[in-house]
Amino acid sequence: MAITATQVKELRERTGVGMMECKKALEAANGDIEKAIEEMRKSGLAKAAKKAGRTAAEGVIVINKDHNHAAIVEVNCETDFVARDTNFLGFAKQVASNALTAKNDDVQQLAATVETARSELVAKLGENINVRRCASLTAADYLGTYLHNDKIGVVVSLKGGDADLARDVAMHIAASKPEVVNPEDVSSDAIAKEKEIFVAQAAESGKPADIIEKMVAGRVKKFMSEVSLTGQAFIKNPDVTVGTLLQQHKATVTGFTRFEVGEGIEKEVVDFRTEVMAQVKTA
């Protein structure tokens, strides 16, 4: 029988499972929603959906590349213990492999390619698992990649230079967390926000307006250098900036991506003592 969008929507709302899996389950159950739910529970899909709301801020960064293209992905789980599990790591590597094949930054599309495997892994390991983000980069001349303990990953593209320089720049990015390539790439909104802070700080000094203006200009310039790759002091030789290093090798950075596991995710802080006391009081 033909499965309607309404049926798929209802099953998805009741289980939290992806639309394609819901449609498959309904087709196998001849449109019987209750039977579909029963079979999904047996296969672990419904169980996996129940865990979907739990915070997954641990995990790994995986990089996969060929001679001129690289893909970087972040795959999350709930605990560092599962992040070291061979099944989880195998799944993350598969995600990276699919990302390399896809050669785009569409994380929803990427996640759809591994949804069945993800749901089965959730049921097996008992934790929420997510494909959080991905990025794709094609080399201008050289690709540099760097992984630090599977928690921080960088891919960078260089025009000119060589493979060793590309790796050194990738390592620098991992350590120094630049936000943009060049100072002029810093957004006007970010500059305006920092300038507002600097003006307020400088005003407390009691100095004349023209002096304050010069102070603020200097601080803004310093801020733009600190958040830009080419303006930062090179980690292997702080006497030169990355920009100078690139000039010495007649190279430029055409793009980079830096992922760090869990960045930007608000982790839930669990007070086990409070939880236990609350349960004791209601017992």
Domain topology for 52-137:
Tetrahydropterin Synthase; Chain A (3.30.479)
Lowest mean pLDDT among 100-104, 172-176, 203-207, 257-261: 203-207
Using alpha carbons, list the distances in angstroms from residue 208 to 192, 194, 195: 21, 20, 17
Using alpha carbons, list the distances in angstroms from residue 274 to 227, 266, 271, 277: 41, 20, 5, 5
Predicted confidence at residue 34, as pLDDT, reads 85
Q: What is the pTM of this model?
A: 0.75
**117: number of Cβ within 10 Å:** 15
**Which pair of structure tokens corresponds to residue 191?**
């500059």
Q: Cβ distance 71 to 131 under 8 Å? A: no
| Domain extent listing, the chain | 5-50, 52-137, 139-177+239-263, 183-238
Lowest mean pLDDT among 104-118, 186-200, 236-250: 186-200
Residue 237: helix, strand or coil by DSSP? strand
Using only the alpha carbons of the chain, give its radius of gyration.
25
- 53 has a pLDDT exceeding 90: no
- 125 has a pLDDT exceeding 80: yes
pLDDT grade, residue 22 (50/70/90)? Answer: confident
- 51 has a pLDDT exceeding 80: no
User: Which CATH superfamily groups domain 5-50?
Assistant: Ubiquitin-associated (UBA) domain (1.10.8.10)
User: What is the domain class of 183-238 according to CATH?
Assistant: mainly alpha
36-72: buried (b, 16+ CB within 10 Å) or exposed (e) per residue?
Answer: bbebbeebebbbbbebeeeebbbbbbbbbbeeebbbb
Give the full edge-to-edge strand order of the sheet including 130-138: 58-65, 69-77, 130-138
Please determine whether the domains at 52-137 and 183-238 fall in the same fold group of CATH: no
Predicted confidence at residue 147, as pLDDT, reads 97
* 218-273 tens-digit pLDDT: 999 999 999 999 999 999 999 999 999 999 999 999 999 999 999 988 665 545 45
| Architecture of the domain made up of 139-177+239-263 | 2-Layer Sandwich (3.30)
- 101 has a pLDDT exceeding 90: yes
pLDDT grade, residue 67 (50/70/90)? Answer: confident
List the beta strands (DSSP E) in 7-56. Answer: none
Q: Cβ distance 153 to 63 under 8 Å? A: yes
pLDDT grade, residue 21 (50/70/90)? Answer: confident
* 166-178 tens-digit pLDDT: 999 999 999 999 9
Residue 250: helix, strand or coil by DSSP? coil
| Residue 115 half-sphere exposure toward CB, CA atoms < 13 A | 19
- 211 has a pLDDT exceeding 90: no
Predicted confidence at residue 72, as pLDDT, reads 98
